[in-house]
Amino acid sequence: MLNLILFGPPGSGKGTQSEKIIQKYKLVHISTGDLLREEVANQTELGMKAKKIMDSGELVSDRIVIGMIRKKLEEHRAGPGFIFDGFPRTVAQARELRKALTDYDEEISVMISLDVPREELVKRLLNRGKETGRTDDNLETINNRIDVYEKQTIPVAHYYDKMRKYVPVDGMGSIDAIFKRIVKVIDQVK
Ligand code: ADP
């Protein structure tokens, strides 16, 4: 199985690139952000709790997120592999992912990290807020999300770097140019 983590700050293009990667490599896409937004849209108890946290830019609890991931892994255990998008976001989540994958005799193949400067992130997210109405794409929440990323999520990159699985990719340029850089990395680990 090919198990990828697509990593990077909010607005770095993980969702956009995930779609292209799934098409080419037929992987199962697991976006914890999408899963949480689905809970919000369905007005589940979990969704109502998560919405407040998401609108502030903080992270939803590791326990909730890990629960969602374990369920997806079980559903697609016979599949071609996974692309994790927006997860793991804390070192605790990374450790739990490792344990969960080990249960299936699997491991992460590579973490691809999209590098994009902060000014560009803010610009893209404000733009997305205007176009989609996502309630967490306002200036105050955006700035908090990037701060949370720098404090709580960057350590996850070090975690995979220590295992020699971390590969940074330039996230600036056209969608296709960035995709080509990603394909190069995937084809090396496949
Ligand atoms: P972005 O990629 O723009 O940061 P996401 O759609 O991945 O946005 O996530 C939106 C929000 O959902 C996050 O700000 C956070 O509150 C919550 N969330 C998503 N994934 C996780 C996760 N793995 N752990 C904790 N919270 C998460």
What pLDDT does 190 receive? 87
Q: 140 and 115 in contact (C-beta within 8 Å)?
A: no
Q: Rounded to whole angstroms, what are the CA distances from 27 to 53, 90, 136, 145?
A: 29, 23, 28, 27
- Of 20, 70, 118, 128, which residue is the catalytic one? 128
Number of CB atoms found within 10 A of residue 154's CB: 13
Confidence (pLDDT) at 77: 87
Cis peptide before 88 (omega within 30 of 0): yes
Q: Has 89 been annotated as catalytic?
A: yes
Residue 132, pLDDT score: 95
Low-confidence ranges of the chain (pLDDT < 70): none
The amino acid sitting at 123 is K
According to the model, what pLDDT value does residue 50 have? 96
- Which residue out of 72, 89, 127, 137 has the highest number of ligand 1 atoms within 8 Å of its CB and is therefore the one to mutate? 89
- Does the structural domain 2-189 have CATH classification 3.40.50.200? no
pTM score = 0.95
The whole-number pLDDT of residue 125 equals: 98
Give pLDDT, residue 78: 85
Q: What is the pLDDT of residue 146?
A: 98
* Mutate-to-test residue for ligand 1 from 145, 148, 159, highest number of ligand atoms within 8 A of CB: 145
Q: What is the reported pLDDT for 93? A: 98
- Computed from CA positions of residues 112, 26, 177, 139, in that sequence, does the dihedral angle turn out positive or negative? negative
The domain ranges of the chain are: 2-189
Ligand 1, atom 19, lies closest to the CA of 33
Q: Name which of 28, 37, 29 is nearest 60 in CA terms.
A: 37
Is 37 a residue of the active site?
Answer: no
* 145 pocket-lining for ligand 1 (C-beta < 6 Å): yes
